[in-house]
Amino acid sequence: MDQKIFVLNGPNLNLLGTREPEKYGTTTLADVEKLCRTTCARFGLGLEFRQSNLEGQLVDWIQEALTSKAAGLIINPAGYTTTSIAILDALLMLKVPVIEVHITNIHARESFRQHSYVSKAARAVMAGFGVDGYALAITGIAGMIGATER
Ligand code: CA2
């Protein structure tokens, strides 16, 4: 597997499946990782799947994606979507496709959730498909980088 993608998750997503199931569903982040692994395997892609509650940690991982020559990056920035110029600046350094994922449709929610700094660096945005959005984003990135289904 020489092509690898990073899937990064922001604050509080470690609690996925355990709180507010009416909004975010009952699937846990461990289940999402399995879904991502299965989907990456279909395209022969390696996967780094990570979550952090810390902005600087997410920035460090984006820089790691750059230095380790990842083929693409998917990020659910969660609460940092609307605030983090540091995450935006790190993403803007990547030459490979970046896809922003949100479990919910942020545009149908409170107005403060509707602006995303991250979108400025994203080739595509997936919002409102629930956790399936992660698998859809991997399929999309596979197409963008020319990885074909095995
Ligand atoms: O819809 C999404 O994926 C969000 O990125 C989720 C963020 C929210 O701040 C964004 O506006 C939209 C919140 C993630 C919090 O994670 C939780 C997980 C389980 C239960 C409660 C919160």
How confident is the prediction along the chain (150 residues), in pLDDT tens digits per residue?
689 999 999 999 999 999 999 999 999 999 999 999 999 999 999 999 999 999 999 999 999 999 999 999 999 999 999 999 999 999 999 999 999 999 999 999 999 999 999 999 999 999 999 999 999 999 999 999 999 999
- Annotated active-site residue 102? The verdict is yes
Q: What angle do CA 21, 17, 111 make, to 5 degrees?
A: 55
Q: What angle do CA 131, 76, 110 make, to 5 degrees?
A: 85
Question: What's the CA-to-centroid distance between 108 and ligand 1, angstroms?
Answer: 14
Amino acid 1: pLDDT = 65
SS3 117: coil
Each residue's pLDDT tens digit, 33-71 = 999 999 999 999 999 999 999 999 999 999 999 999 999
Q: What angle do CA 12, 103, 31 make, to 5 degrees?
A: 70
Q: List all residues whose CB is within 6 A of at least one atom of ligand 1.
A: 12-13, 15-16, 19-20, 24, 76, 78-79, 81, 102-104, 106, 113
Instruction: Could you please state the CATH topology (level 3) that the domain comprising 4-145 is classified under.
Output: Rossmann fold (3.40.50)
Instruction: Check 80, 102, 117, 134 and give the catalytic one.
Output: 102
Q: What angle do CA 48, 17, 104 make, to 5 degrees?
A: 80
Question: Rg of the chain over CA atoms, in angstroms?
Answer: 14
Report CA-CA distances (Å) from 110 to 21, 82, 88, 103: 18, 12, 22, 15
Distance CA 91, CA 97 (A): 10
Task: With 0.85 as the threshold, say if the pTM is over it.
Answer: yes
